[in-house]
Amino acid sequence: MAINVTVWNEYRHERNNPEVARVYPEGIHGLLATVLQKEGHSVRTATLDEAEHGLTEEVLEKTDVLIWWGHAAHSEVSDQIVERVCQRVQDGMGLVVLHSGHFSKPFKKLMGTSCNLKWRGAGEKERLWVVEPSHPIAKGLPEHFELPCEEMYGERFDIPQPDCLVFLSWFPGGEVFRSGCTFTRGMGKIFYFAPGHETYPTYYDPVIQRVIANAVLWAAPSGGPAPVFGFAEPLE
């Protein structure tokens, strides 16, 4: 099943920070687009500094699943585009929010909470545990897997109770984190996945790529009935 995926990236670090440019010479969006194309999907990319951040009505209309990576410039994302993205999620578009996207405007708006957390950028090991192995996003994964070098994200993670908690992360500094969480908003399925600091080659990891590919399949619209709202005549 070919899915129309749009990979959105802030795409500033890669252009401003040589360290990041070395890791992701084509941008995080470029790498993820390549990965998902290999899965057989129809993939486009969009970035902050494009017109309308690359997320025109037309692009979003054709997007089944939107992937979101942002970090330093969340505030530069226009409220109008945020509204548009959230409306498309309501209408059924899947949304996969990566790493520092926890603080992006669309994610915060859809969650209704601060989405705040603890963090530490010290290049520590992160170990992820599959706690709900029945979930489609866990397909083909090992029971636990490791990233040698990640940013620590720790609890309390200020999100509403997830529909399903798929992954938990462990960090050597003593923290834990709900690092893979699903939500539903309107017709749209949302997956938050924590790994992916820009200075580490996390998105080259085949297990991480598997998670994101699984999430795209899971988050694609299911084809359920669009609700009818407003005044209703009695049915009998």
Q: Which of residues 57-96 bind a copy of itself (CB under 8 A)?
A: 86, 90, 92
What is the phi/psi pair of residue 186, to 5°?
Answer: 60, -130
Distance of closest approach, residue 227 Cβ to a copy of itself, in angstroms = 4
d(CA 140, CA 137): 9
| Selected range binding a copy of itself among 6-14, 45-53, 70-78, 228-236, rule: CB under 8 A | 228-236
Touching a copy of itself, residues 206-225 (CB under 8 A): 222-225
Helix (H) or strand (E) holding 185, with range, is strand 176-185
Check binding of 113 to a copy of itself (CB under 8 A). Answer: yes
Check binding of 51 to a copy of itself (CB under 8 A). Answer: no
Touching a copy of itself, residues 166-205 (CB under 8 A): 168-170, 172-176, 178, 183-189
In this structure, how many other beta carbons lie within 10 angstroms of the beta carbon of residue 231? 4
| Selected range binding a copy of itself among 10-18, 63-71, 113-121, 197-205, rule: CB under 8 A | 113-121
| Selected range binding a copy of itself among 40-48, 60-68, 106-114, 199-207, rule: CB under 8 A | 106-114
Give the distance from CA 20 to its chain's centroid: 19
Backbone dihedral region for residue 54 (phi beyond 0: left; psi -120 to 50: alpha; all else: beta): left
d(CA 192, CA 222): 19
144: which DSSP letter? Answer: E
Q: Binding residue for a copy of itself (CB under 8 A) from 135, 191, 194, 202?
A: 135
